[in-house]
Amino acid sequence: MSYEPKRADFSVPVRINLYSDTQTRPSPAMKEAMMAAEVGDEQGGSDPTVWELCDRTAALLGKEAAMFMPSGTMCNQVALATHCRPGDEILAHEDAHIQSSEAGGPGAISGVMIRGLPGARGIFSADTLRDAIRPVSRYAPAQRLVEVEQTANKGGGACWPIGDLKAVADVAHQHGMKVHMDGARVLNAAVALGVAAADVVADCDTVWLDFTKGLGAPLGAVLAGPGDFIGEAWRWKQRLGGSMRQGGMNAAACIYALQHNVARLAEDHANAAGLAHGMAQIPGIVVEMPETNMVFFDTKGAGLTAAELAARLRPLGVTISVSGSYRGRACTHLDVTAAQIEEAVAIMRSVIAA
C-alpha cells in the first residue's frame, strides 16, 4: 500500500488555492498573537489561554463547557465515544463526514454502527428520521445519537434551516436520543443565516467548531456541551492522545480568529456566489448554487472528469478538489480575493475551451 498523502509538487506554485478552506496560512497578526500568548500545561489545566478559548467558545455557542482539541475529527470521535456504547446505532446523513472521511473511527473507536439517512443537500427531514426509529426491542441496536452537519459539506455547504433542525432534534429527544452537531463550519451557517451561533446550535446537545476551516487558524477545534459531558469527554481526549502541553500558542490563534475572522466569512460567501455565477457561464459546466463558501459543480458536459479538470488547472497555479467522477469542488476562504476568483474563472474557461 502506498503512503498517503502523497508529497505535493512544490515546483509549480499554487497561486489561487480553491482546494479547500483549510488552505489558509496564519496571517502575520495571527502569528503575533501566537507569539505573545501566555501558556501553561493544557493537559494539567494550567494553560490560561486555552481556558480563555474554551470559555469564549462555550459562550459563543451557548453551552456550559468546552474542550480544546487538535482537530475536528478528534472532536467527532471523542463526542461519539462519550455519547455511545459499543453496539449502539447513530443516525446521520448518508454523506456525513463521520461516515465517509474519518477512517472508520466510529466503528474502530466506539464500536458503533451508523445508519445513513437520505436527503437532498446533506439534510434529512424529521419524517425521514422518524421512519428510521426502531421499535425498542432486544433485537434492535440501541439508537443513541442523531448527528447533523452544519454546514453540510458534501451537501454543497448547505445550511440546515433552524426550523428543520429543531424538528429533527425534537424527534431525537422524544425517542431518548441526543443530538450531536458536526459544526466544522457552523459559523459559516450563522453568518449566512444571519442568526447568532448559539441559536443555530440551540437544539443540539453537543457541538464543535473548527478553527482551521475558513477561520484561518493553523490548528484546533473546540467541542462544547454540558459540563458533565465535557468532563467525561476529557477521558477520551486523554486516551486518544489529544491532551496538549503549551496549547496556548494554538489557542491564541483561535481566539484571534474569533475576534477578526468571523464576520468576514460573508466575503467568502459573496466570493463563492461570484465564482458560481462565473462558472455557470462556462459551456459544459453545471453549477450547484452555493449557500456558503463551497461551490460544487458537474464537469460532464465539458467532456472532462473532475480529476482531469483539476490536473489541467494545477500547472496554471489553480487548485480545486475532486469529490466524484464528474463532481468538483471549489472553496473560498480568506486567502482568496474577488480578483483571484475572476482570474480563476477565466483560467477554467480557457482550459475547458482548449
Backbone angles phi, psi at 53, to 5 degrees: -60, -45
**Is 329 a residue that touches ligand PLP (CB under 6 A)?**
no
Give the span between the Cα atoms of 140 and 13, in whole angstroms.
Answer: 54
Candidates 210-218, 228-236, 261-269, 272-280: pick the segment binding ligand PLP (CB under 6 A): 210-218
What's the chain's length in residues? 354
**Piece of 49-57, 69-77, 107-115, 187-195 that binds ligand PLP (CB under 6 A):** 69-77
Query: Per CB under 6 A, does 271 bind ligand PLP?
Result: no
Q: How many CA atoms lie within 13 Å of 270's alpha carbon, on the beta-carbon side?
A: 9
Range in contact with ligand PLP (rule: CB under 6 A) among 3-11, 68-76, 86-94, 105-113:
68-76
Nearer Cβ to ligand PLP (83/213): 213
Of positions 184, 189, 287, 294, contacts ligand PLP by CB under 6 A: 184
Number of residues that bind ligand PLP (CB under 6 A): 13
Asked whether position 153 contacts ligand PLP by CB under 6 A, the answer is yes
Answer whether 92's CB lies under 8 Å from 146's CB.
yes
Helix (H) or strand (E) holding 310, with range, is helix 306-313
Could you tell me if 272 and 158 are in contact, meaning their C-beta atoms sit under 8 angstroms apart? no
Residue owning grid cell 490548528: 219
Q: Which residue has the cell 480575493?
A: 337
The reply on whether position 97 binds ligand PLP by CB under 6 A is: yes
206 binds ligand PLP (CB under 6 A): no
Q: How far is the CB of 281 from ligand PLP (least distance, A)?
A: 28
Residue 292 binds to ligand PLP (criterion: CB under 6 A): no
Cell reading at 172 = 431525537
Cis peptide before 5 (omega within 30 of 0): yes
Binding site for ligand PLP (CB under 6 A): 71-73, 76, 97, 149, 153, 182, 184, 210, 212-213, 221
